[in-house]
A and B are shown apart, each in its own frame.
Chain A
Amino acid sequence: MLDFDEELKRFKPSLDVDDVEDTLNGQDLTDIIDMMNDMRNPLNLSTVTKEKSKRT
C-alpha cells in the first residue's frame, strides 16, 4: 500500500526555464577523470574536497 506522504516527498520541483542559467554556475560536473587526476596529484587541492567544502 502506498504511503501518500512519503511518496509526495519524493517529488522534486521542476527546473524553471528562467533559472537554467543560474543553475549552470553551481552545477557539480566533477567526473571520475577529475577525481583520478586529483588522486594522482596529491599536492593539488582536491576538486572533490573543494566541492564537499562548498556543500558543507
Chain B
Amino acid sequence: MSSFEERAKHLSAVYYNRGLERAGIRDLSGAVTQLLISLKFNKENMDARNLLGLIYFETGETGSALREWMISRNLHPAENPAIDYIRQVQADQARLNAVNRTLVEFNEALRTCKEGHDDVAAITLRKVLTRNPKLLKAYQLLGLIEFREGRYAHASRTLKKALKIDHTNPTTLRYLRAVEEAAGGSSALKRHSSKDEEGDATTKAKAPYPSRFRETPAFVNLVNVLIGLAIGMLAVWFVIAPAVRKNAAREADEKVMEYSNVMATQEDRITQLESQVAEYTDSVQNAQSAQQNSENAVTSYDNLLRAYNDYQNANYLAAGDEIAAVDVSLLSTSAADIYNAIRNAINDEAYSLYVRNGEEAYYAENWPEAITAFEHAAAIDATDYEVLDLLALAYQNNLENDKAIEAYQKIIDTFPGTRRAEYAENSITALGGTPVVNDAAAADTEDTEESADDETYDDGSEDYSDESDEYSEE
C-alpha cells in the first residue's frame, strides 16, 4: 500500500470518528456530512458506510439505508454488520412494504405539492407520518406547507418533531426560525409554544444547537465539503512526492548493495584465481628446477665417466677439466665415492702437467699459454705460492694488470702477515692498486708463519730480492 493510500484511509477514519461523534449527540445531518467526506477519502470504509445507512434508516429513508448497506456488503462480503442489517429489515417484509409505501406516498405528496396542490399534499404527508414517524423530510415538507398556509402553530409543532429526530438539521432550524419570526407576537403560537416549551427544553438540554450550523445554507455545506476534499487532496499530494523519492532512494540503495555484493563475489573469485595461478607458477618452477637438477646430475655423471675414461687413457688435462665440472652434490653415494677416489689421482697428475706446461710457456714468454696453464693449476690447488706468483707475473707481462692485482691479492689472502704477502702488497702498489690487508688474520698468523717464512727465506730469499730488483728497474 502506498503512502498516500494510507494517508487517505487515515483521513477517512478521522472523518468517520467525527461523524460518529455527531451521531452520538443526534446531530444526524452533521454526521451525514462527515460520513460522506469519509467515504470520499475511502469508499471502502465499512464502518462509515454502515453508520451512514443507519442514519438514513433513522431518518426514515429506508431505501437509502438499504443502498448503503448493500454497497457495504458488496465491498466487504464477510464479517460485515450490514449483512445483518439488511437481513433484519428484509425479514419483516410486511413492515418493509408499509415503509416503502410511505416513501412512495411522500414522493407523490412532493409531486402534488410542486403542482400547487398543497392541501392534498399536507393530507398525504400526515398519513405518511402516521405510518413512518421517522421520515424527517415529511416533517419538513409538512411544516413548510403549514407555514405557507399561515398555520404557524402547527408548523412549529411539526418542525419541533423533526428536531427530535435530527437536533441540528439546518433546514428544520431555518424553517422554525422563519415560523417564529412570522408568528411574531402571535398569541396562538405563544400558546402552542408554551405547551411545547417543556418538551423543547428537554430537547435543548440534550443537545444545544450550534447557531452557526443552523444558519448555514446547503450550498455552504457543499462548499465546505469541496474545501475539505481539496485540503485532503493537497495533503495526500504532498505525501506522494516524499514517498516516491523515498522509494526511489530505497531502490537505489538496494541496487548499490546488490552491485557491491556482486563486486565482492567477483573480487573473491579473482583472489582465488590469482592464488591458483601462483600455485601453478610455483609448481612449474619446481618442475623446471627438478628438471634442471636432473639435467645437471646427468651432466655430472657424464663428466665423471669421461674423466675416468681420460684418466685411464693418461689424458690427465682433459680428465682434470672434466672432474672439475662434476657437481658432487648431485651424485649418488656410490658415485660420490668413485668421484673422491679418482679426483685426487687426476688432480695430482693434471696439476703436475699444468705446472710444467705453465713454466715452459712462461720461460718461453708465451704469456697466454702460461696464464692458461697456471689458471688450471691454481684451480686444482690454490695454495701453491709458486703457481700464484707466476700467474700474477704472467698477467702482468701480458699487460693484464687488473688480473695481476687479483692474483697478488690472492697471495695476500692466502699468506697473510708473511713476507710473501708484503711482497704482493708492494707489487699491487707498484701496479697502481690498493692492497687489502686483513690485520686480524695477519696478526693471528704472524707468529705461526714466522718459522715457515724463515724456512722459505732459507730456500728462496735470493730469488725475491732479484725479482724485486727487476720490478724496480722496470
B is a partner of A: yes
In the complex the two chains form, is B70's CB within 8 Å of A31's CB?
no
Q: Which residues from B are CB-within-8-Å of A1?
A: 178, 181-182
The answer, yes or no, to whether A36 is at the interface (CB within 8 Å) is yes
In the complex the two chains form, is B67's CB within 8 Å of A24's CB?
yes
Q: Which of A9-31 contact B (CB under 8 A)?
A: 10-11, 13-21, 23-24, 27, 29-31
Chain B 64-92 per-residue mask, 1 if CB under 8 angstroms from chain A, else 0: 10110011001000000000000000000
CB closest chain-B residue, reference A29: B43
Q: A2-B178, A33-B42, A36-B236 are in contact. Are A15 and B67 (CB under 8 A)?
A: yes
Chain A 29-56 per-residue mask, 1 if CB under 8 angstroms from chain B, else 0: 1111111100010000000000000000
Q: Which residues from B are CB-within-8-Å of A8?
A: 113-114, 144
Q: Which residues from A are CB-within-8-Å of B66?
A: 17, 20
Interface of A is mostly: helix
In the complex the two chains form, is A4's CB within 8 Å of B96's CB?
no
Task: Give Cα A4–Cα B74 distance, bound, in whole angstroms.
Answer: 40
Task: Give Cα A32–Cα B228 distance, bound, in whole angstroms.
Answer: 12
Q: Which residues from B are CB-within-8-Å of A35?
A: 233
The answer, yes or no, to whether B374 is at the interface (CB within 8 Å) is no
* Interface-central residue, B63, B74, B141, B181, by most chain A CB under 10 Å: B63
Interface of B is mostly: helix
Interface size on A, residues (CB 8 A): 28
CB closest chain-A residue, reference B75: A29
Task: Give Cα A17–Cα B236 distance, bound, in whole angstroms.
Answer: 37
In the complex the two chains form, is A14's CB within 8 Å of B41's CB?
no
Expressed in whole angstroms, the minimum distance between the Cβ of B459 and any Cβ of chain A is: 118
In the complex the two chains form, is A4's CB within 8 Å of B148's CB?
yes
In the complex the two chains form, is A2's CB within 8 Å of B144's CB?
yes
Q: Which residues from A are CB-within-8-Å of B232?
A: 32
Q: A24-B70, A32-B40, A32-B41 are in contact. Are A14 and B63 (CB under 8 A)?
A: yes
Q: Which residues from B are CB-within-8-Å of A13?
A: 106-107, 110
In the complex the two chains form, is B110's CB within 8 Å of A20's CB?
no
Q: Which residues from B are CB-within-8-Å of A40?
A: 240
Chain B 172-211 per-residue mask, 1 if CB under 8 angstroms from chain A, else 0: 0011001001100000000000000000000000000000
Partner of A17, one of B100, B106, B110, B141: B100
Task: Give Cα A29–Cα B41 distance, bound, in whole angstroms.
Answer: 10
Expressed in whole angstroms, the minimum distance between the Cβ of B240 and any Cβ of chain A is: 7
Partner of B144, one of A4, A16, A21: A4
Supply 20 A–B pairs (Cβ within 8 Å), ascending by A.
A1-B181, A1-B182, A2-B174, A2-B175, A2-B178, A7-B175, A14-B63, A15-B103, A16-B100, A17-B63, A17-B96, A19-B63, A20-B67, A21-B70, A24-B70, A31-B43, A32-B8, A32-B41, A35-B233, A36-B8
Q: A4-B148, A32-B229 are in contact. List 8 more A-B contacts (CB 8 A).
A: A4-B144, A11-B110, A11-B140, A15-B64, A21-B70, A32-B42, A32-B232, A36-B240
